[in-house]
Chain A
Amino acid sequence: MAFFVTHNVKLKGVASCVPRQKAMNADLPDFSDSEKEKLISTLGIEARRIAHSDRCASDLCLAAAEKLISDLNWCKEDIDVLVFVSQTPDYILPGSSSRLIDKLGLSSNCIGYDLNQGCAGYVYGLSLISNIMASSGFKKGLLLIGDTITKLISHEDKSLVPLFSDAGTASALEFSENASPSFFNTKTYGKEYESILVKEGAGKANFASGKTISMQMKGMEVFQFSISKVIPVIDELFSLSGIKKEDIGTFVFHQANQLILDTLTSKLKLDKARVPSTLKDFGNTNGASIPLTATLHLPHTKGTVLMCGFGVGLTIAACIVNCDSLVCSELIEL
């Protein structure tokens, strides 16, 4: 069981940055009108954001981080730790966190971590940075998560193109002895690693193979995984934390597609108003989807929020965090 509690760390704010360029699913080539209508109504996705070819996830995260630091009036010298979560880093090596520390003008005393995680990555990142801060005495931390996942998708892949979108986000965390505890629960199903896979470009099939880099997803496997395995992780989180479903104000799920969101909402017997969606305008932004949804839907939120990501790995990670007085910056377009 990977259930744990972190103390003394408060989620202070969140900011998001999306590419300015939009792609509309209504304009998809190679789909009939009735196919597009069904696709849009089932996936819930009308528009997606596509990063410029020379722009990386770290660029989107950088813009979000600058905005958040400014909105919080943080002094950059005070930031002790930065965690960058992405599956589309700048390079295979070095990791992007050290470059981000430099680009943001943070102190050389700031420690950086790179985490290769996808749809569940935000909760993974929150758990990592919260544990580091709780155990080290670090006062301020930044969690950056983003992907330019559209660069890994073949333009000819009719099942993936309508789904995925690019975004970068930043979340600010602060050490506070008055902070409410955060509760985490995760599950790992590594046997299913091929369900969402980019084979090329790393150790198993490097560039010398001459193959084009493209993401492959076994859509039905991932769908069945999502609707069968996520709810037990959430139920277990409630059971082990002692927090009840009724105590949660908002449920921010990974924005996989609307059919999955609706299924989870129905299985948990939740009012749809408690389960925000950003799919219509931003599609599936991979690991950034939870903080992007938080940026747009959690301003003025009081109380406890449940966040849950699921996908690549395959992995599931859920957490319950207090979001009182959360600063949600205005969305940036780059």
Chain B
Amino acid sequence: MHSKELNTFLDLMRTLFPEEENGVISEKTDVKRLKEWSSLQNMIVVSEIDKVYDVIVSIEDFNSSSNLEELFEKIQSKRN
């Protein structure tokens, strides 16, 4: 079951990938494989996560996360 926090995070990600079709972005999505993914999009995602969660996600965090749920867990661990 999704936590409320994870759902909020997924909603944020959906706003950052507006060209993806509804339902494409879920907790199992690897954003690095999305067609909209680029170095520019990576900057936008890092910036928004920093703005909302006050956490700067590293390149290692992205590379070692195979999906958004894992990325969110890393964000949460950095907040604690």
| A residues in contact (CB < 8 Å) with B | 34-35, 38-39, 42-43, 159, 219-221, 223-224, 227-228, 259, 263, 266
Is B19 part of the contact surface with A, judged by Cβ < 8 Å? yes
Judge whether A263 and B50 touch: CB under 8 Å.
yes
Measured in the bound complex, the distance between the Cα atoms of B39 and A159 in whole Å is 8
Q: Which 10 A-B pairs have the closest CB atoms?
A: A219-B39, A223-B43, A228-B56, A220-B59, A159-B39, A220-B42, A259-B47, A263-B47, A224-B56, A259-B43
Measured in the bound complex, the distance between the Cα atoms of B19 and A79 in whole Å is 58
Judge whether B40 and A39 touch: CB under 8 Å.
yes
Number of chain B interface residues as a range: 10 to 19
Measured in the bound complex, the distance between the Cα atoms of B44 and A159 in whole Å is 14
B5 to chain A, nearest CB (A): 22
Measured in the bound complex, the distance between the Cα atoms of B19 and A38 in whole Å is 12
Residues of A contacting B42 in the complex (Cβ-Cβ under 8 angstroms)? 219-220
Given contacts A220-B39, A223-B43, A227-B47, 5 further A-B contacts (CB under 8 A): A159-B40, A224-B56, A224-B58, A227-B46, A227-B50
Q: Which of B38, B44, B56, B59 contacts A259 (CB 8 A)?
A: B44
B 26-60 binary contact with A (CB < 8 Å = 1; else 0): 00000000000011111110110011000010110
Nearest A residue to B54 via CB reads: A267
A162 to chain B, nearest CB (A): 9
